[in-house]
Amino acid sequence: MSIYLGNLSTKDIENRLGIRLTDEERDACEAMREQNTSKVRNKDVWHAYDIPFVIACGSYEVALKLRDIFGPYSGRMKGQLQISGDWDGAPVPRRKEADA
Protein backbone atom coordinates (compact mmCIF):
# COMPACT_ATOMS: atom_id res chain seq x y z
CA MET A 1 0.00 0.00 0.00
CA SER A 2 1.32 3.45 -0.93
CA ILE A 3 0.59 6.56 1.09
CA TYR A 4 1.04 10.04 -0.34
CA LEU A 5 0.80 13.09 1.90
CA GLY A 6 0.65 16.79 1.16
CA ASN A 7 -0.73 19.41 -1.15
CA LEU A 8 2.16 21.63 -2.25
CA SER A 9 1.71 24.85 -4.18
CA THR A 10 4.14 26.04 -6.82
CA LYS A 11 5.65 28.40 -4.25
CA ASP A 12 6.08 25.47 -1.82
CA ILE A 13 7.93 23.54 -4.54
CA GLU A 14 10.17 26.52 -5.27
CA ASN A 15 11.01 26.87 -1.57
CA ARG A 16 11.74 23.19 -1.17
CA LEU A 17 14.04 23.13 -4.21
CA GLY A 18 15.66 26.50 -3.47
CA ILE A 19 14.80 27.96 -6.88
CA ARG A 20 12.83 30.96 -8.06
CA LEU A 21 10.60 30.62 -11.14
CA THR A 22 9.66 33.64 -13.21
CA ASP A 23 6.21 35.11 -12.61
CA GLU A 24 5.12 33.72 -15.98
CA GLU A 25 6.36 30.20 -15.13
CA ARG A 26 4.73 30.31 -11.69
CA ASP A 27 1.42 31.48 -13.18
CA ALA A 28 1.54 28.69 -15.78
CA CYS A 29 2.12 26.10 -13.06
CA GLU A 30 -0.63 27.44 -10.81
CA ALA A 31 -3.10 27.50 -13.72
CA MET A 32 -2.66 23.71 -14.05
CA ARG A 33 -2.60 22.92 -10.32
CA GLU A 34 -5.38 20.82 -8.79
CA GLN A 35 -5.79 20.87 -5.01
CA ASN A 36 -7.94 17.75 -4.89
CA THR A 37 -5.84 14.73 -5.80
CA SER A 38 -8.89 12.67 -6.78
CA LYS A 39 -9.50 15.06 -9.69
CA VAL A 40 -6.06 14.63 -11.30
CA ARG A 41 -6.41 11.41 -13.31
CA ASN A 42 -6.84 11.90 -17.06
CA LYS A 43 -7.02 15.68 -16.83
CA ASP A 44 -4.60 18.45 -17.79
CA VAL A 45 -3.70 19.22 -14.17
CA TRP A 46 -1.15 18.26 -11.53
CA HIS A 47 -0.99 17.75 -7.77
CA ALA A 48 2.23 17.88 -5.70
CA TYR A 49 2.86 15.72 -2.66
CA ASP A 50 5.25 16.45 0.18
CA ILE A 51 5.82 12.79 1.12
CA PRO A 52 7.06 11.43 -1.18
CA PHE A 53 8.13 14.63 -2.94
CA VAL A 54 6.55 14.11 -6.35
CA ILE A 55 4.31 15.94 -8.80
CA ALA A 56 1.55 13.67 -10.10
CA CYS A 57 0.29 14.74 -13.52
CA GLY A 58 -3.07 13.87 -14.99
CA SER A 59 -1.75 13.86 -18.55
CA TYR A 60 1.49 13.31 -20.40
CA GLU A 61 1.20 16.82 -21.86
CA VAL A 62 1.17 18.39 -18.39
CA ALA A 63 4.24 16.35 -17.44
CA LEU A 64 6.05 17.71 -20.49
CA LYS A 65 5.04 21.29 -19.67
CA LEU A 66 6.31 20.94 -16.10
CA ARG A 67 9.51 19.31 -17.33
CA ASP A 68 10.09 22.27 -19.63
CA ILE A 69 9.42 24.78 -16.83
CA PHE A 70 11.51 23.13 -14.10
CA GLY A 71 14.18 21.53 -16.30
CA PRO A 72 16.36 24.64 -16.75
CA TYR A 73 16.64 24.92 -12.95
CA SER A 74 17.77 21.32 -12.38
CA GLY A 75 21.42 22.22 -11.82
CA ARG A 76 20.47 24.64 -9.04
CA MET A 77 17.90 22.49 -7.21
CA LYS A 78 18.61 21.50 -3.60
CA GLY A 79 17.07 18.10 -4.23
CA GLN A 80 15.42 15.98 -6.86
CA LEU A 81 12.03 16.68 -8.39
CA GLN A 82 10.01 13.72 -9.62
CA ILE A 83 7.25 14.18 -12.15
CA SER A 84 5.00 11.18 -12.58
CA GLY A 85 1.65 10.07 -13.84
CA ASP A 86 -0.48 7.15 -14.82
CA TRP A 87 -1.12 7.57 -18.54
CA ASP A 88 -2.41 4.71 -20.63
CA GLY A 89 0.06 4.00 -23.43
CA ALA A 90 1.90 7.33 -23.19
CA PRO A 91 5.68 7.31 -23.46
CA VAL A 92 7.80 8.19 -20.45
CA PRO A 93 8.76 11.90 -20.46
CA ARG A 94 12.33 12.34 -21.68
CA ARG A 95 14.81 15.07 -20.90
CA LYS A 96 14.47 17.99 -23.30
CA GLU A 97 18.02 17.50 -24.65
CA ALA A 98 17.13 13.95 -25.68
CA ASP A 99 14.25 15.23 -27.82
CA ALA A 100 16.62 16.98 -30.26
Provide the residue ranges of all domains of the chain, joining segments of one domain with +: 10-89
pLDDT of 44 > 70? The answer is yes
pLDDT of residue 81: 93
Strands (DSSP E) found in the chain = 46-49, 54-57, 82-85
- For the whole prediction, is pTM greater than 0.85? no
User: Comparing 65 with 89, which gets the higher pLDDT?
Assistant: 65
Q: Which helix (DSSP H) or strand (DSSP E) does residue 7 occupy?
A: none
Q: What is the DSSP-derived secondary structure letter of residue 99?
A: G
